[in-house]
Amino acid sequence: MPQTTLVLVPHPDDAEFFAGGTIARMVKEGRRVVIVVATDGSKGSFEHTAEALVQVRRREAMRAASILGAEPPVMLGHPDMGLEQLPPGALRQEFIRAIRQYRPDALIAEDPFAPGDWHPDHRAVAWAATEAVNAAGLPLVHPEHRDEGLEPHQVAEKYFYAESDAGVNKVVDITATLETKLAALAAHESQMAFLVEGVLRQMRLAGVDPRPLLEAAGADPAALVGLAVRAQAAAAGQRIGVPFGEPFRYERFHPLVEALLAGS
């Protein structure tokens, strides 16, 4: 059986932004990749209604996952900007079920210990994923899952991403898959337009002329975002001496086990 990577993210484009190159690389190496998206992404637009945006972002997420070579994404469908309103432990339980269902060898999720993330959905997923990956192997945690045929499962490798580089201890070489990452991001057309419009509004508020920025990318939102993503990947790659990389805080086993492995 091929190895499996489970990706737990808040919104339909987060997997591509923070780990798209790594996901594409894992797929090329023969891994199965399953992306679980917690929310419906219904708040990220200046032009669509929330109802229309749900369908748009679902279609975009399907296309992006296909470009990466991942399985069709699992959409949990919780309201965007509403994860903190779920009952305590509800999201953690859903993630534990996903871990037990897909039985991954590796997990990718947001780092709860990274500073400076204002978004409540990001923080909610980061903590729920971290709690779930540590609890999914405990048989007395949600024992009712066994009634569904889901047994406890421990995950060996954890890749935690963040906007901050605090805590980064591993960079994955994505030189061979950067273009796939950019193509997957471009599939999120509504989100590329939303992000660029947000930057333009801030530039106008600050009295900065946005025309040179738009001309640099031919007024194409995906191309403009791609320039920024390429620059970030180049900076990460410099850490390990490769053209392009993606940074993570990487964990494997309990420190005692790691010490035993190091001494063996």
Task: Identify the CATH number of the domain in which residue 21 sits.
Answer: 3.40.50.10320
pLDDT score for 256: 82
Residues of the chain with pLDDT under 50: none
The residues near 102 (Cβ < 8 Å, ≥ 6 apart) are 4, 6, 34
Residue 163 DSSP symbol: S
At residue 172, what are phi and psi to the nearest 5 degrees? -95, 130
The answer to whether residue 83 is domain-embedded is yes
Query: Which amino acid appears at position 97 of this protein?
Result: R
CB 39 within 8 A of CB 74: no
Range of the domain at 13: 4-259
The answer to whether residue 24 is domain-embedded is yes
How many folded domains does the chain comprise? Answer: 1
The answer to whether residue 95 is domain-embedded is yes
Distance from C-alpha of 10 to C-alpha of 85, rounded to nearest angstrom: 14
The answer to whether residue 114 is domain-embedded is yes
Distance from C-alpha of 256 to C-alpha of 203, rounded to nearest angstrom: 50
pLDDT score for 1: 60
pLDDT score for 215: 79
CB 119 within 8 A of CB 84: no
The answer to whether residue 162 is domain-embedded is yes
pLDDT score for 35: 98
The answer to whether residue 221 is domain-embedded is yes
Q: Which conformational region is residue 167 in: left (phi greater than 0), alpha (psi within -120 to 50 degrees), or beta?
A: left
Distance from C-alpha of 229 to C-alpha of 196, rounded to nearest angstrom: 13
